[in-house]
Amino acid sequence: MDRRGASAIFFSRWLVSPLGPWVNLVAGSAAFAWARFTSFGVAGEAVWAGLYVGTGYGFAGNVEAASQMLGSALGMIAGAGAVLVLGYWLFSSTRPDSGR
């Protein structure tokens, strides 16, 4: 927490928010200064709110286009994930076992 605590608090507010409660617990256990914790927490929340509102503002007139773009992006991500999983499976199934 001494070296990377501030960035952990900042990023756990908006980028990796499921880790937020655990970062809070560690920061409290490590006696992280409350003023510093609050300032980085507020900065992270401001970034999250800015991105959320900015995205809404940017796509307000193009909800249909944003929906199609999101569907296409999610399809590409799912396809890439399937390719990676199947590639790993193929690679691991063709590799000879070293123990036999």
Planar angle of CA 38, 34, 32, nearest 5 degrees = 115
**Global pTM exceeds 0.75:** no
pLDDT digits (tens, 9 = 90+) for 15-63: 888 888 999 999 999 999 999 999 999 999 999 999 989 888 887 777 7
Nearest to 9 by CA among 40, 55, 45: 40
- CA dist 10 and 36 (Å) reads 11
CB 59: neighbour CB atoms within 10 A? Answer: 15
- CA dist 62 and 32 (Å) reads 44
Interaxial angle between packed helices 63-94 and 34-59, expressed in degrees from 0 to 180 and rounded to the nearest 10: 110
